[in-house]
Amino acid sequence: MSRDDVASTANPLIDDAQALMRGAARLLWHMGYSAIPEFILPDGRRADLAALGRKGEITIIEIKSGIADFRADSKWTNYAGYCDRLYFAVSERFPHGVIPEDAGLIIADGFGGAIVRESPALTLAPARRKALTLRFARAAADRLMRVGEPAVDMPPTAD
């Protein structure tokens, strides 16, 4: 039995955030989006998952592994100013009724996900969209460049 098995046995109401993120990212990919985890926004907050669509639309997904995680973290309230759509990704076991109506809802697991409530459409100013798109592209490119590279040899990153 691994340490993860023990943790999930100890508290079955806590889901694996990495698995939820993987499932949400797979859903986005099937929808034509490219996603990166832990995207740093201009205000310094870190979105769990950010995605860029084929037409330049920006989606942010907030991953919640349990109700305690949801109650302890309100950084998502500022995300609306940085995306066209905002979703929460949770497991089937998560109490869906606590997710605010002004955000969409994705049910996910380690293999995929489904949108069960669409996000209201938000509006980004063109200048902010351009700045976020460039930040997203640089973050993705910098991460790709760091694959296999020693961290000490790399210059500071855009994200």
Q: What is the pLDDT of residues 102-150, one digit of tens each?
A: 999 999 999 999 999 999 999 899 999 999 999 999 999 999 998 877 7
CA 124 – CA 133 distance, rounded (Å): 11
Examine residue 28 and state whether it is found in any structural domain, yes or no.
Answer: yes
Q: Is residue 157 predicted with pLDDT exceeding 90?
A: no
Examine residue 156 and state whether it is found in any structural domain, yes or no.
Answer: no
Alpha-carbon distances, residue 141 vs 19, 60, 91, 110 (angstroms): 24, 19, 30, 25
Tokens linked to 63:
């991953």
Report the CATH number at residue 69: 3.40.1350
CA 1 – CA 43 distance, rounded (Å): 42
Examine residue 130 and state whether it is found in any structural domain, yes or no.
Answer: no
Segments forming the whole domain that contains residue 45: 3-123
Examine residue 46 and state whether it is found in any structural domain, yes or no.
Answer: yes
Examine residue 119 and state whether it is found in any structural domain, yes or no.
Answer: yes
| Predicted confidence (pLDDT) per residue in 56-93, tens digit | 999 999 999 999 989 988 888 899 999 999 999 999 99
> Can you say how many angstroms the Cα of residue 24 is from the centroid of all Cα atoms in its chain?
8
Burial class from Cβ neighbours inside 10 Å (0-12, 13-18, 19+) for residue 76 reads buried
**Number of H-type helices and E-type strands within the chain:** 4, 6
* Residue 124 amino acid letter: L
Examine residue 21 and state whether it is found in any structural domain, yes or no.
Answer: yes
Examine residue 30 and state whether it is found in any structural domain, yes or no.
Answer: yes
Examine residue 69 and state whether it is found in any structural domain, yes or no.
Answer: yes
* Number of domains, the chain: 1
